[in-house]
Structure 1
Amino acid sequence: MIAYIRGVLSSIEEGSIIIDVHGVGYELHCPNPFVFQSSINEEIQIHTYHHVREDAQILYGFKNKDEKYLFTKLISVSGIGPKGALAILGSVDIDGFVSAIEREDDKFLTSFPGVGKKTARQIILDLKGKLNTVLSLTPNEGIFQLEEEEEMRMVNEATEALKALGYSDKEIKSILPQLNQEKNKSVDELIRTALALLMKK
């Protein structure tokens, strides 16, 4: 099993990054490749999960051990594959996600693409009580503040509006890190900020 890869970040693709290790390019599929934008052409270490299927071997890359651990637990849940786990990780605060599981908030869990009510209940059944003792959570131990949940909801609404305006998933993902840093803004304000950021691309 490949635990991590250290090399030069040579490029960022729509759903993956390429790490050059002594002339060999490793493609790592990531929840949000653009979080590594500031490290382009620099040496970095990426935590990896080596997923082996009958027809393919795929490397998944993560910015820290917590993200990798949550990925491995998500793909152990019936109904969630690697693509679904990446989609969740690409738009979630880990503390908040764990807290949603602990309080059995299936409404929050079903807000993620591909997660229906049945899968949400399966996530709760399989993972409740098994994450907060392992993950490096904040001192609040996963207490998810309501204002953080509201901010995430508004960012999701803003991204949906951008899609309706014709922007691609790649373009939207490239500005998500900046949008997630915006606090106490309305959906309209987030959309205006997003449009300004996209104009600079």
Structure 2
Amino acid sequence: MIEFVKGIVDEVTPEYVVVENAGIGYKIYTPNPFIYKRDKEEKVFTYQHVREDILALYGFQSREEKSLFTKLLNVTGIGPKGALAILASGNPGQVVEAIEREDEAFLVKFPGVGKKTARQIILDLKGKLADVATELMPDLFTHEEIGKRDEASRSLNEAHEALLVLGYAEREINKVLPSLKEEKLTTDQYVRKALQKLLK
């Protein structure tokens, strides 16, 4: 809902910054609040997190960093606090590279990320970070690879949705789709292959 906040930094704490805009102070949780300086105008890209008991703004220096944060939130076992801790390293490009290279040893160094969660991050995000990587790590993919990965990733996501519509549980789908990620198929082919595996 709020894409970004541009204003004067009124307060900096170890957990968040307060940015004043038009007389309103926005409390924004960021990976590393101390990159912002008090009394300086800043543009902070924001993500609004809403739950029954929480309404919070999370802020980032770039749209790419924000995009990586939202993708991490989609990983089972990763919440806003865990995603912020991963981004707090100050080098999101390294995180993208670790995911693409399946470097579990790098990922488990982050607070709250064990081997199981590191494996889940890789399973859920590998091949889906081209939009982030083009800015953060321009040398990680060639343009041709990005196109192929984007297309395959879109097809796999569509296949996932199709299987949900067919009545398969998320748990069942997650057992078979990861094994198809390395193949570059059409949506229809992904669905057929997944069904073959599900019906064994």
Give the Cα–Cα distance (whole angstroms) in 1 for the partners of residues 59 and 138 of structure 2: 26
Residue of structure 2 in register with 1:165 after alignment:
none
What's the RMSD between the two structures over aligned residues?
1.3
Q: What per-residue deviation string (whole Å, max 9, x for no partner) do you get for residues 46-76 of structure 1? A: 1000000111210001011111001000011
Counterpart of 2:51, as a letter, is R
Residue of structure 1 in register with 2:140 after alignment:
141
SS of equivalent residue, structure 1 residue 120 = helix
Counterpart of 1:59, as a letter, is L
Greater C-alpha Rg: 2
Contact 2:72 2:121 (8 Å CA) reproduced: yes
Give the Cα–Cα distance (whole angstroms) in 2 for the partners of residues 84 and 72 of structure 1: 12
Q: What per-residue deviation string (whole Å, max 9, x for no partner) do you get for residues 17-39 of structure 1? A: 001112211100000000113xx
Structure-2 change in CA distance of 1:126 and 1:92 (3 Å): farther
Identical pairs, percent:
53
Give the Cα–Cα distance (whole angstroms) in 1 for the partners of residues 39 and 94 of structure 2: 32
Residue of structure 1 in register with 2:146 after alignment:
none
Give the Cα–Cα distance (whole angstroms) in 2 for the partners of residues 125 and 76 of structure 1: 12
Counterpart of 1:99, as a letter, is E
Residue of structure 2 in register with 1:15 after alignment:
15
Q: What per-residue deviation string (whole Å, max 9, x for no partner) do you get for residues 135-163 of structure 1? A: 31344227xxxxxxxxxxxxxxxxxxxxx
Contact 2:68 2:132 (8 Å CA) reproduced: no
Counterpart of 2:30, as a letter, is C
Instruction: Give the paired residue count.
Output: 140
TM-score normalized by the length of structure 1? 0.66
Specify every segment of 5 or more residues in structure 2 that has no aligned partner in the other structure, as ranges.
142-200
TM-score normalized by the length of structure 2? 0.67
SS of equivalent residue, structure 2 residue 81 = helix
Residue of structure 2 in register with 1:27 after alignment:
27
Query: How much does 1:90 deviate?
Result: 0.4
Structure-2 change in CA distance of 1:47 and 1:141 (3 Å): same
Q: What per-residue deviation string (whole Å, max 9, x for no partner) do you get for residues 59-111 of structure 1? A: 00101111100100001100000000001100152221111111111111101
Contact 2:49 2:55 (8 Å CA) reproduced: yes
Give the Cα–Cα distance (whole angstroms) in 2 for the partners of residues 133 and 20 of structure 1: 31
Equivalences for 1:87-166 in 2 at 5 Å?
87-135=85-133, 136-141=135-140
Residue of structure 2 in register with 1:50 after alignment:
48
For CA contacts below 8 A with separation 6 or more, give which structure has more relative contact order.
Answer: 1
Contact 1:95 1:141 (8 Å CA) reproduced: no
Residue of structure 1 in register with 2:65 after alignment:
67
Equivalences for 1:160-175 in 2 at 5 Å?
none
Worse-superposed segment, 26-35 or 130-139: 130-139
